[in-house]
Amino acid sequence: MLVATLLTNPAAPSLDGALVESLRNAWGGGDVVWLNSDEAAEFPVVEMPVNRWDVWADLQGMGVDLILQPIEGRRKKMLLADMDSTMIQQECIDELADEAGFGERVKDITARAMNGELDFDGALLERVGLLKGLDEAVIDQVLNTRITLMPGGRELVATMRAAGGYAALVSGGFTAFTAQVAERLGFDENRANTLLSENGHLTGDVKRPILGRQAKVESLERITARLGIAEADVIAVGDGANDLGMLGRAGTGVALHAKPAVAEQCDIRINHGDLSALLYVQGYARPDFVSA
């Protein structure tokens, strides 16, 4: 048995009940359950509709995300999340580079790397090299003035942890940022790359080994083994090419506002909702959400 979930941007909820009923009837679905009025609803279906992606494309034009997945086992025991453009709305290295005067150049490299056009490790080293000589104090300045949390993140982490789940933040970014973001959002642990510095200034390099695509997969393997849970018990979320490994291995892999080349490789794509969509996908209703 499968479940079809439809959701919209909670900042401007616009899910039409007639639309949900029409799709339920077309697919021979069961009773509709509203997870939140005008924002998210679901209904069971017996088998995967043959026109799934055609309907998905049509709904995208209406500002609606559509997810189809097995009902059994969809509520997960662990959240594994990327940070940049996922748990926060920015790319930290782009913001640092902007302070250093290389913003546009680095932003272009970041976009190409996240879309899978460039080798992640090489692109990271190239961008970090441009930060050489930058005062370490700029990190706190960027954190305090430029970094904003992705909507729904606090509720996502708090709700899953309240249900006994574990939350890990695993980023190809930097520990100077993940430590603070993890603390703000209530993650149990965080992993990322370490920017190297000397005499209060960045050296233009990072500590080895570099945490990239494979390291995120290894984090999934090691944390689940330590917790004694299966990889199928994990919901992972990310937006870049370096996230594809963990998104493919996790029980539920969510491409959140992802680069096109990344989204097309994932069955669950959230383009209109925010991080609260990951709770709706697991069957939580808005009254079940825990405020951080």
The CATH code of the domain that includes 119 is 3.40.50.1000
Domain boundary among 72, 98, 115: 72
* Total domains present in the chain: 2
Mark which of 23, 53, 72 sits at the end of a domain: 72
**191 token code pair:** 């992993």
* Options 16, 58, 82, 135, the catalytic residue: 82
Domain that holds residue 4: 1-72
Q: Which candidate in 16, 54, 84, 243 is catalytic?
A: 84
Q: Left (φ > 0), alpha (ψ -120 to 50) or beta: where does 134 sit? A: beta
39 and 61 share one domain = yes
Q: Is 84 an annotated catalytic residue?
A: yes
* The token pair that represents 72 in the structure block: 């059994």
- Look at residues 72, 92, 121 and tell me which one is the last residue of a structural domain: 72
Q: Which residues contact 247 (CB under 8 A, 6 or more apart)?
A: 236, 237, 238, 253, 254, 255, 265, 266
Residues 67 and 94 reside in one and the same domain: no
pLDDT in 10s for each residue of the chain, 292 residues: 999 999 999 999 999 999 999 999 999 999 999 999 999 999 999 999 999 999 999 999 999 999 999 999 999 999 999 999 999 999 999 999 998 888 888 889 888 988 889 888 899 999 999 999 999 999 999 999 999 999 999 999 999 999 999 999 999 999 999 999 999 999 999 999 999 999 999 999 999 999 888 999 999 999 999 999 999 999 999 999 999 999 999 999 999 999 888 999 999 999 999 999 999 999 999 999 998 6
* Burial annotation 167-184 (CB, 10 A radius, 16+ → b, else e): bbbbbbbbbbbbebbbeb
**82 carries an active-site annotation:** yes
Please check whether residues 159 and 290 belong to one and the same domain: yes
Where is 59: in which H helix or E strand?
helix 52-60
